[in-house]
Amino acid sequence: MKIYLVRHGLTESNKQKHYTGWTDVELAPEGVAQVEALAAGFSGMKINGLFSSDLRRAIKTAEIIGSGHGLKPEPSPQLREINFGLWEGLRYEEIIASYENEMRRWYDDPFLCAPPGGEDLRQVFARAHSFLDGLWNREDGEGTFVVVSHGGTIRSVLHHYLGLGKNRFFELTVDNAAVSLLEKDAQGTVRVSYMNKRL
């Protein structure tokens, strides 16, 4: 079984480096172009299921990918980005100015520390992993699936399957409209075949 993890295309918030999280924003025109190019990479592939976060930037990304396959995405809140709480909509400089101690604790251990009013990474990974388990445990055990989510959420999944220490989370990079591939073999072992790739 294969699961392609796709980060949504570029948004204006991404361009301005705002912590967007659960804030529901649209793709920027550049983001639409990114995803259209990405969709071409999926054009010759048989896709058995298409899923996305329930936020508009992810749904639109999935719709563009699915358009050439006659597939509409199935949205799920389990695939949302990290909830940044009081940091939503702020830039790093603004967060440091008002929440320096909280930000430093979060960077030191994002799995135990959450932004004020937001989620820690254990919570983010738990919901994403629960969703992915539903795919891994399908009765047929086969198929190719595309899951469109967000940078932080995808990084939490990759971090888990790569078996990295908690201090290495921020070493992972997941660009807009980039793809990472998870594969499960007949023995039930999941491996990261590649990360942050342009198809």
The torsion angles phi and psi of 177, rounded to 5 degrees, stand at 60, 25
Please confirm, yes or no, whether 81 is among the known catalytic residues.
yes
Is the torsion defined by CA of 198, 159, 94, 20 positive or negative?
positive
Which of the residues 8, 18, 150, 159 is marked catalytic?
8
C-alpha–C-alpha distance, residues 88 and 69, integer Å? 35
Which of the residues 81, 88, 102, 119 is marked catalytic?
81
How many other CB atoms are there within 10 angstroms of residue 126's CB atom?
14
Please confirm, yes or no, whether 139 is among the known catalytic residues.
no
C-alpha–C-alpha distance, residues 10 and 4, integer Å? 18
Please give the positions annotated as active site: 8, 81
